[in-house]
């Protein structure tokens, strides 16, 4: 399986679990906006991820979930149990799809209807904004119309219809596709006409207006008002696939072969064939098909071919040949000679009853649709099996009564009321005899096994089956996978991340523990005077040290992942997004093999997607605009990863329109993020940095692509969470570059130990630019701030003692030099004056807890080899 | 241009995109008895299709592309709304 | 309004069925095992039962047998199970179920069956 997909799957599972947990937590605390925001983010991101693959059903449902949560966030909709339930349902569905993806690598189009249903059930909760409301009852209602009126099929040449009829009975199922695109579909880039033209094997086409065309002056060419229909012998799967993105606008219905039997022609002479009709029905009653055929052939031979009669007779002969048991159809066809009008098969089919011998008065008062007929049969079959159970059970009478009420109910709904009075008698008898047999005979009488007498209705069922079977087959596969052990030996071992984290923690402790050995060696020599032992400890230490370091490296390696994991998504993302936007973009990926810690890779994926989308959405211009600006039509987007010592840089640069600092300033002022004085004072670069400010978004209209208000501040926060930094450079008209600077790994922190006021502190090395000793004479006071010049750069100086509120002056060394630690904070260099530098060590940083945890300025604490605790500073918050 | 407008005849060529629909409608409304030649048309966006269906101009030539032709005839020959 | 009792120990399954049925306009109640279900039925019988098999305290078979035997209610019951084994089906029928469906039951499938078993004539 391709790693991206694998990554998606494991991420999706985590997300789904988180989503479920959040939903549960929200039940206890429905007003928590923080939790709601987090939930929204999860769904939002998962949707985004799924959009990178061909999982339209998954995306559809997640999208609806996202919209719903968005509405909740905005206070348009209140959180409710119902809402949580439906979201959970939707996530179950997504989980199901994830399972399927894992099993087969893709999702089948068979889920489309469910996706539509779930998405609608979510959107329904949004209320007024809902596009369509879903009501489960609709499903049944629409099922009523499942057999369409296809009298227009007379437009098809009779020869063709006959060929199709023959084919259909031979298994080439005929399907009707009805596609009613939504009015605004053109704005979504859809072209329904093109779409329907892709229907394979279509034998009949129809295009009509949905509503009558308005006055031409009021005609809106861009509001789709079309209904397409086609008959095809293509496989249902092909059609579902073709209309995968708009399943809710398409109906695919099997057309029973009999629907093609539409006699046509000259009705000249009127109905004068009564003798023939009487004879024909007699033949039929006597099961004398040869006689009926002969009689029909004689009449056909003496009739002009153009007559309606001839057509009907030809059809009758064809039906007798191909579908000899379909008495109902034959009877109806013969009866149609009375009226010389084509039979309305859609009514006939559903009113056929196998027991009913009287065709003048259909027995069914209400009709069943295909699905119902199928399920009706299933229920009858179940009752047969129930009645076949042993009669000895104590609860037999209850069971029999249950069967009787079941039979009564479903016969009533099917309109088969004749047997109902007898049914109560049969039940009474059965209870009296303590035997199922009276009910069994009732079933024999009123609902014989249909397999013995195939009817048109049965064929309908069969015709409808293949698609359903495919679906059932699918769900069986999934069920099988859940319950059974279809275990294919994996090539790689999947390990729970927690276990790796545990290993990482342990090795960290080991590194610290081994660091105590040198102290022990010193102690052995100085305190106990055992020099020999001291030396031995030292040599053992060297061995342990080497092993520990290798182990640490190895574990780190396990956690390292190539950035290609996230880069892989981009070609597709860029392609799709730029296509949607009508832009041309060439994507260049560089340094994909650069490796970085898993946590960081994960933390990076959202921000990167966001940056790339931003770039496509707002950076790169439309081809016309670019041409006008003298640039090549295709924009250039580069994503490059590079490693420099212990940091990895990811640069996302485009050659788009860049960012105008003035626009940023004005916007920030407008939004109240800066005051007038600041507005005047800000440099261009400072203005650009404002895009990272919370609550800032340059585009007013929330675009479909960049998402909703997940702005650059979120990107910055996500990057900073993993000790990374983000910076932006832009030149109006030329393009924008965003650089993420990230630590290679986050498990072990390399800190430099400094001394100040006789205390030791650690400072993360990833913030340290350099350590220098500055002569006191090189310190200048500018505007009451102490500064010095380092490499042609003014560096402000701050004493660590001051920052920590320690009441002492920085100490100089014997040469009157001040130890200065230059750190980088928001791209600015600041010198921190300390008393002295010590060694650098690798430590496992433990976050601060308790009261100290609330204090800014500390990144955490760490245990040193000698057992002492080192406080690690966070200069960023300190300064 | 995917549609070349002559005095009384619009000649469709190749792929006629969604953007053409407004222009087509305008042209059809301005000139009476106008005809359209679809002979060289390969793809016709739905928006143009519905303009043709609503205005019903005379078709001077049907597309050579068989699939397009059969669908267009289904749409334009039986032009009844519901 | 027809009343339906869902008997299942898994809340997700109960919710799943409840959503489907409520959306179709049925009044739905829940029980988490056979005992609780019997208690509810004895108070007021329902029009239809949707019964899971494996449940703590009293399983679906036990529930149905008891209900049928004591003549507590003889309304149609659908047994829903993840097992597609023929044996289980027969066992369910013997216990007094009127239909046996395999989880997960698709909403439309469930609705059509419920509809038929309740003998409701559509408007």
Q: Which residues pair with A643 in a beta bridge?
A: A648
Structural domain tally of chain A? 7
Q: Are A717 and A754 in a shared domain?
A: no
The CA distance from A232 to A196, in Å, is 11
From C96's Cα to the closest Cα of chain A, the distance in A is 5
Q: What is the pLDDT of residue A358?
A: 37
Geometric angle at alpha carbon C76, from C72 and C81, rounded to 5°: 105
Query: A687, A722, A743 — which closes off a domain?
Result: A743
State the DSSP code for A444: H
The structure tokens listed for A239 are 């059609």
What CATH homologous superfamily does C3-117 map to?
A: Response regulator (3.40.50.2300)
Is residue A265 domain-resident?
no
The CA distance from C59 to C61, in Å, is 6
Q: What is the pLDDT of residue A128?
A: 44
Q: Which residues contact A312 (CB under 8 A, 6 or more apart)?
A: A263, A333, A336, A337
Q: Are A58 and A193 in a shared domain?
A: no
**Which candidate, A567, A789, A734, A741, places its Cα nearest to that of A642?**
A741
Q: Which residue of B has its CA nearest to A203?
A: B70
Question: What is the full DSSP assignment across A179-191?
Answer: E---GGGGGGT--
| Tokens 């894992």 belong to residue | A102
From chain B, the residues in CB contact with A211 under 8 A are 81-82
Domain map (residue ranges) of chain C: 3-117
From chain A, the residues in CB contact with C84 under 8 A are 476, 479
Write down which chains contact chain A via at least 3 CB pairs under 8 A: B, C
From C53's Cα to the closest Cα of chain A, the distance in A is 16
Q: Are A583 and A539 in a shared domain?
A: no
pLDDT per position as a tens digit, A684-712? 888 888 777 766 655 443 443 444 345 77
Residue A419, classified by CB atoms within 10 Å of its CB into exposed (0-12), middle (13-18) or buried (19+), is middle
User: What's the pLDDT band for C50 if we cut at 50, 70, 90?
Assistant: very high
Compute φ and ψ for A627, nearest 5 degrees: -60, -45
ipTM over 0.85: yes
- Alpha helices by DSSP H, listed for A569-683, are 569-581, 598-614, 623-628, 661-670, 676-681
Is residue A485 domain-resident?
no
State the DSSP code for A801: H
Q: Does any CB of chain B come closer than 8 Å to the CB of residue A193?
A: yes
B53/A196 CB distance under 8 A:
no
* Residue B23 neighbours by CB distance under 10 Å: 17
Testing the interface with B: which of A185, A190, A207 to mutate, by most B Cβ within 10 A? A207
Question: What is the full DSSP assignment across A620-646?
Answer: SPPHHHHHHTTS-SSEEEEEEEEEETT
SS3 A637: strand
Range of the domain at A644: 563-659+698-743
SS3 A846: strand
Q: Which residues pair with C31 in a beta bridge?
A: C7
Please check the confidence at residue C48 and state whether its pLDDT lies above 70. yes
A194/B46 CB distance under 8 A:
yes
The pairing of strands C48-52 and B9-16 is unpaired
| Tokens 């495919």 belong to residue | A470
Is residue A343 domain-resident?
yes
Cα Rg of chain A (Å, integer): 39
C90/A375 CB distance under 8 A:
no
Looking at residue A715, which CATH number applies to its domain? 3.30.565.10
Q: Which residues contact A73 (CB under 8 A, 6 or more apart)?
A: A33, A36, A37, A40
Is residue B73 domain-resident?
no
Q: What is the pLDDT of residue C83?
A: 59
* Residue A792 neighbours by CB distance under 10 Å: 5
From A184's Cα to the closest Cα of chain B, the distance in A is 11
**Which candidate, A420, A389, A385, places its Cα nearest to that of A404?**
A420
Is residue A692 domain-resident?
no
Q: Does any CB of chain B come closer than 8 Å to the CB of residue A222?
A: yes
Walking along chain A (879 residues) 10 residues at a time, the average pLDDT comes out as 72 85 82 84 79 80 89 84 86 89 80 84 70 34 46 77 85 85 85 91 87 86 90 84 82 80 75 74 83 84 81 87 81 77 60 35 41 77 87 84 86 76 85 87 76 39 42 42 40 72 78 78 87 89 86 81 83 82 89 84 82 87 90 92 84 90 82 79 82 63 42 78 82 89 72 89 86 86 79 84 85 87 85 88 66 67 73 83
Q: Does any CB of chain A come closer than 8 Å to the CB of residue C43?
A: no
**Strand ranges across the sheet with B3-5:** B3-5, B9-16, B35-44, B58-61
E strand residue ranges, B1-82:
3-5, 9-16, 35-44, 58-61
B82/A197 CB distance under 8 A:
no
From chain C, the residues in CB contact with A366 under 8 A are 121-122
C116/A403 CB distance under 8 A:
no
* Residue A704 neighbours by CB distance under 10 Å: 12
Is residue A433 domain-resident?
yes
**Better-scored residue on pLDDT, C48 or A714:** C48
Which residue of A211, A216, A221 is in closest CB contact with B47? A221
Structural domain tally of chain B? 1
* Residue A496 neighbours by CB distance under 10 Å: 8
State the DSSP code for A810: P
Q: What is the pLDDT of residue A871?
A: 87
Q: Does any CB of chain A come closer than 8 Å to the CB of residue C111?
A: yes
Q: Does any CB of chain A come closer than 8 Å to the CB of residue C54?
A: no
Please check the confidence at residue C122 and state whether its pLDDT lies above 90. no
Q: What is the pLDDT of residue B78?
A: 55
From chain B, the residues in CB contact with A226 under 8 A are 46, 49-50, 53
Q: Which residues contact C41 (CB under 8 A, 6 or more apart)?
A: C5, C67, C72, C73
Q: Are A633 and A573 in a shared domain?
A: yes
Testing the interface with C: which of A386, A403, A473 to mutate, by most C Cβ within 10 A? A386
The CA distance from A723 to A650, in Å, is 14
Per the CB < 8 A criterion, the answer to whether A745 and A643 are in contact is no
The CA distance from A205 to B74, in Å, is 6
Q: Are A200 and A243 in a shared domain?
A: yes
Q: Is A672 left (phi over 0), alpha (psi -120 to 50) or beta?
A: left
Q: What is the pLDDT of residue A294?
A: 85
Which residue of A139, A398, A483 is in closest CB contact with C71? A398
Which strand (E) or helix (H) includes residue A766?
A: none
Write down which chains contact chain B via at least 3 CB pairs under 8 A: A
**Which candidate, A403, A402, A412, A401, places its Cα nearest to that of A443?**
A403
From A504's Cα to the closest Cα of chain B, the distance in A is 59
Q: Are A284 and A238 in a shared domain?
A: no
Compute φ and ψ for A592, nearest 5 degrees: -65, -20
The structure tokens listed for A519 are 């102290």
A217/B78 CB distance under 8 A:
no
Q: Does any CB of chain A come closer than 8 Å to the CB of residue B44?
A: yes
Q: Does any CB of chain B come closer than 8 Å to the CB of residue A231?
A: no
Which residue of A366, A395, A411 is in closest CB contact with C69? A395
Q: What is the pLDDT of residue A350?
A: 42
The structure tokens listed for A221 are 């060419």
B46/A186 CB distance under 8 A:
yes
Q: Which residue of B has its CA nearest to A224?
A: B47
The CA distance from B46 to A197, in Å, is 11
Geometric angle at alpha carbon A785, from A826 and A827, rounded to 5°: 10
A205/B71 CB distance under 8 A:
yes
The CA distance from A343 to A329, in Å, is 9
Per the CB < 8 A criterion, the answer to whether A776 and A727 are in contact is no
pLDDT per position as a tens digit, C55-71? 777 888 889 988 888 77
Cα Rg of chain B (Å, integer): 11
Is residue B49 domain-resident?
yes
What sign does the CA torsion over A434, A438, A442, A448 have?
positive
Which residue of C12, C82, C93 is in closest CB contact with A88? C12
Is residue B80 domain-resident?
no
Q: Which residues contact A798 (CB under 8 A, 6 or more apart)?
A: A786, A830, A831, A832, A833, A879
pLDDT per position as a tens digit, C12-28? 667 778 888 888 889 99
Q: What is the pLDDT of residue A411?
A: 81
Range of the domain at B50: 3-64
Per the CB < 8 A criterion, the answer to whether A817 and A839 are in contact is no
Q: Does any CB of chain B come closer than 8 Å to the CB of residue A249?
A: no
């Amino acid at each position: 399986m391709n790693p991206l997909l694998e990554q998606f799957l494991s991420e999706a599972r985590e997300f789904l679990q988180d989503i479920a947990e959040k939903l549960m937590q929200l039940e206890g605390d429905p007003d928590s906006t923080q939790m709601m925001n987090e939930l929204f983010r999860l769904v939002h991101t998962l949707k985004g991820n799924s959009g990178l693959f061909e999982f339209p059903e998954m995306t559809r449902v997640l999208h609806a979930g996202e919209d719903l949560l968005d509405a909740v966030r905005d206070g348009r909709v209140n959180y409710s149990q119902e809402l949580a339930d439906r979201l959970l349902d939707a996530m179950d569905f997504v989980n199901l799809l994830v399972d399927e993806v894992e099993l087969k690598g893709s999702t089948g189009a068979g889920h489309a209807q469910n996706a539509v249903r779930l998405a609608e059930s979510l959107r329904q909760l949004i209320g007024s904004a809902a596009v369509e409301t879903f009501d489960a009852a609709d499903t049944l209602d629409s099922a009523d119309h499942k057999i369409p009126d296809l009298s227009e099929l007379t437009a098809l040449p009779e020869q063709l219809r006959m060929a199709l009829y023959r084919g259909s009975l031979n298994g080439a199922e005929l399907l009707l596709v009805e596609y009613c695109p939504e009015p605004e579909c053109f704005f979504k880039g859809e072209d329904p006409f093109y779409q329907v033209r892709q229907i394979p094997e279509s034998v009949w086409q129809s295009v009509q207006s949905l509503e009558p065309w308005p006055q031409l002056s009021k005609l809106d060419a861009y509001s789709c008002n079309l209904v397409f229909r086609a008959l095809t012998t293509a496989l249902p799967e092909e059609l579902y696939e073709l209309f995968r993105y708009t399943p809710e606008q398409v109906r695919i219905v099997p057309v029973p072969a009999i629907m093609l039997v539409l006699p046509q022609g000259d009705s000249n002479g009127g109905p004068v064939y009564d003798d023939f009709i009487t004879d024909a029905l007699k033949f039929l009653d006597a099961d004398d098909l040869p006689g009926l055929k002969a009689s029909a052939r004689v009449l056909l031979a003496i009739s002009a071919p153009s007559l309606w009669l001839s057509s009907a007779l030809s059809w009758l002969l064809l039906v007798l040949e191909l579908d000899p048991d379909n008495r109902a159809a034959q009877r109806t066809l013969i009866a149609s000679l009375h009226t010389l009008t084509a039979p309305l098969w859609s009514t006939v089919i559903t009113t056929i009853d196998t027991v009913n011998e009287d065709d003048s008065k259909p027995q069914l008062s209400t009709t069943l649709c295909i699905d119902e007929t199928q399920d009706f049969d299933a229920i009858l079959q179940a009752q047969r099996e129930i009645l076949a159970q042993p009669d000895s059970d104590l609860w037999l009478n209850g069971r029999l009564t249950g069967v009787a009420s079941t039979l009564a109910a479903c016969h009533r709904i099917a309109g088969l009321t004749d047997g109902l009075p007898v049914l109560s008698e049969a039940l009474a008898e059965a209870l009296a005899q303590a035997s199922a047999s009276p009910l069994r005979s009732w079933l024999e009488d009123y609902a014989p096994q249909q397999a013995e007498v195939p009817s048109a209705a049965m064929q309908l069922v069969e015709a409808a089956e293949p698609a359903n079977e495919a679906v059932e087959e699918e769900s069986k596969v999934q069920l099988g996978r859940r319950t059974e052990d279809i275990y294919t030996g994996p090539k790689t071992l999947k390990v729970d991340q927690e276990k790796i984290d545990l290993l990482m923690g342990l090795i960290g402790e080991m590194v610290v523990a081994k660091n105590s050995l040198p102290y022990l060696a010193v102690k052995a020599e100085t305190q106990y005077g055992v020099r020999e032992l001291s030396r031995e400890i030292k040599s053992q230490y060297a061995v342990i040290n080497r092993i520990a370091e290798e182990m640490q490296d190895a574990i780190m390696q396990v956690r390292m992942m190539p950035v290609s994991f996230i880069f892989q998504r981009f070609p597709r993302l860029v392609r799709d997004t730029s296509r949607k936007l009508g832009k041309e973009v060439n994507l260049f990926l560089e340094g994909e093999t650069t490796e970085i810690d898993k946590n960081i890779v994960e933390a990076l994926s959202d921000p990167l997607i966001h940056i790339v989308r931003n770039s496509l959405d707002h950076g790169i211009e439309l081809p016309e605009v670019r041409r006008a600006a003298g640039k090549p039509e295709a924009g250039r987007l580069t994503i490059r990863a590079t490693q420099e010592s212990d940091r990895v840089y990811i640069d996302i640069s485009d050659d788009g329109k860049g960012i105008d600092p003035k626009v940023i300033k004005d916007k920030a002022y407008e939004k109240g993020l800066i005051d007038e004085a600041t507005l005047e004072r800000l440099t261009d670069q400072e203005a650009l940095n404002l895009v990272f400010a919370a609550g800032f978004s340059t585009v007013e209209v929330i675009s479909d692509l960049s998402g909703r208000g997940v702005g650059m501040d979120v990107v910055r926060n996500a990057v900073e969470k993993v000790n990374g930094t983000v910076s932006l450079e832009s030149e109006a008209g030329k393009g924008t570059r965003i650089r993420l600077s990230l630590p290679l790994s986050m498990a072990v922190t390399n800190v430099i130990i400094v001394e100040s006021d006789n205390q030791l502190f650690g400072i993360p090395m990833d913030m340290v630019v350099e350590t220098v000793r500055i002569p006191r004479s090189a310190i200048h006071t500018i505007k009451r701030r102490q500064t010095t010049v380092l490499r042609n750069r003014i560096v402000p100086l701050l004493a660590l003692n001051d920052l920590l509120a320690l009441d002492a002056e920085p100490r100089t060394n014997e040469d009157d030099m001040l130890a200065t630690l230059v750190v980088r904070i928001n791209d600015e260099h600041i010198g921190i004056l300390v008393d002295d530098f010590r060694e650098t060590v690798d430590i496992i940083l433990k976050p601060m807890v308790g009261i100290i945890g609330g204090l800014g300025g500390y990144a955490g604490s760490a245990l040193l080899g000698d057992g002492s605790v080192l406080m690690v500073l966070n200069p960023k918050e300190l300064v | 241009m995917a549609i070349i407008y002559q005095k009384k005849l619009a000649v469709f060529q190749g792929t006629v995109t969604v953007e053409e629909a407004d222009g087509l409608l305008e042209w059809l409304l301005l000139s009476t008895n106008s005809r359209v030649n679809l002979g060289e048309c390969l793809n016709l966006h739905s928006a143009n299709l519905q303009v043709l269906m609503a205005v019903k101009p005379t078709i001077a030539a049907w597309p050579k592309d068989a699939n397009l032709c059969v669908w267009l005839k289904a749409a334009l020959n039986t032009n009844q709304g519901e | 309004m027809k009343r339906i009792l869902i008997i299942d120990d898994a809340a997700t399954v109960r919710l799943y069925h409840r959503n489907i049925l409520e959306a179709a306009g049925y009044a739905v109640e829940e029980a988490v095992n056979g005992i609780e279900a019997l208690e509810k039925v004895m108070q007021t019988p329902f029009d239809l039962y949707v019964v899971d098999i494996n449940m703590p305290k009293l399983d679906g078979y036990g529930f149905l047998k008891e209900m049928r035997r004591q003549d507590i209610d003889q309304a149609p019951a659908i047994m829903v199970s993840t097992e597609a084994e023929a044996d289980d089906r027969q066992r369910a029928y013997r216990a007094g179920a009127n239909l046996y469906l395999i989880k997960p039951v698709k909403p439309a499938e469930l609705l059509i069956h419920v509809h038929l078993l309740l003998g409701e004539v559509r408007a």
